[in-house]
């Protein structure tokens, strides 16, 4: 059974104070996570609950922030010591030429061979965070291919 959580539940996520906040409307701002408090996830680990986490959190002033989903998922996977982070994307280079990343050295080598990759891209920042802070591998799969997520689980 899947259960929805937001980063605001039990302070699962805390948003970073950002000098470059993008205003999306009068009530919400876009930011990045500052930290992950994974205790709530550890509590449900032995249950049959599958957590579905929305990237929304409070900042230090209790203002609701929308978080970058790529960086948020990277921080969550690192906080819970996940073996694998699956990133669904439409980037054909990452899917077809890379597929799986296991080290920062592999990530850095991509920049030598591909001028289209941008180090500040949220997918790349998220990948660097995971590879620098955990023993996880990153698997890039097609977001527009039917059953790609299900099929990737068995790879």
Evaluate if residue 113 carries a pLDDT over 80.
no
Phi-psi region of 35 (alpha: psi -120 to 50; beta: other; left: phi over 0): beta
Please give the residue range of the domain that contains residue 98: 68-155
**Predicted local distance difference test score (pLDDT) of residue 36:** 96
Together in a domain, 20 and 39: yes
Domain end marker among 18, 33, 67: 67
High-pLDDT (> 90) share of the chain, %: 48
Evaluate if residue 95 carries a pLDDT over 80.
no
**Predicted local distance difference test score (pLDDT) of residue 21:** 52
Number of DSSP helices (H) and strands (E) in the chain, helices first: 6, 11
**Predicted local distance difference test score (pLDDT) of residue 94:** 75
**What torsion do the CA atoms of 137, 141, 147, 153 make, to the nearest 10 degrees?**
-10
3-class SS at 135? Answer: coil
**Predicted local distance difference test score (pLDDT) of residue 3:** 94
Nearest-angstrom CA–CA distance, 137 and 147: 21
Together in a domain, 43 and 29: yes
Together in a domain, 5 and 35: yes
Indicate the pairing of strand 50-54 with strand 2-6.
parallel
Evaluate if residue 20 carries a pLDDT over 70.
no
Residue range 23-82, pLDDT digits in tens: 555 556 778 899 999 999 999 988 999 999 999 999 988 889 999 999 999 999 999 999
Written as six digits, the tokens of 22 are 């993008």
**Predicted local distance difference test score (pLDDT) of residue 155:** 65
Q: Distances in Å between the alpha carbon of 39 and those of 11, 22, 62?
A: 10, 30, 20
The answer to whether residues 72 and 13 touch, using CB atoms and an 8 Å cutoff, is yes
CB under 8 A, 24+ apart: contacts of 144-150: 144/90, 148/88, 149/86, 149/88
Q: Domain count for the chain, please give it.
A: 2
On average, the pLDDT of the chain sits at 86
Residue range 6-15, pLDDT digits in tens: 999 999 999 9
Domain end marker among 12, 37, 67: 67
Mean pLDDT of 101-123: 81
Q: Distances in Å between the alpha carbon of 130 and those of 10, 72, 90?
A: 23, 11, 20
């Amino acid at each position: 059974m899947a259960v929805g959580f937001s980063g605001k539940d039990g302070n699962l996520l805390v948003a970073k104070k950002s000098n470059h906040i993008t205003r999306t409307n009068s009530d919400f701002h876009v930011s990045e996570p500052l930290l992950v408090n994974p205790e709530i996830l550890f509590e449900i680990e032995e249950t049959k609950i599958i957590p579905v986490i929305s990237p929304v959190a409070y900042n230090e002033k209790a203002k609701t922030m929308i978080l970058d989903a790529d960086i948020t998922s990277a921080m969550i996977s690192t906080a819970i010591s996940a073996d694998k982070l699956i990133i669904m994307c439409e980037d054909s280079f990452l899917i077809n030429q890379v597929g799986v990343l296991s080290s920062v050295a592999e990530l850095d080598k991509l920049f030598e061979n591909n001028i289209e990759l941008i180090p500040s891209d949220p997918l790349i920042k998220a990948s660097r965070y995971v590879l620098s802070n955990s023993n996880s591998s990153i698997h890039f799969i097609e977001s527009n291919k039917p059953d790609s997520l299900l099929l990737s689980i068995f790879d």
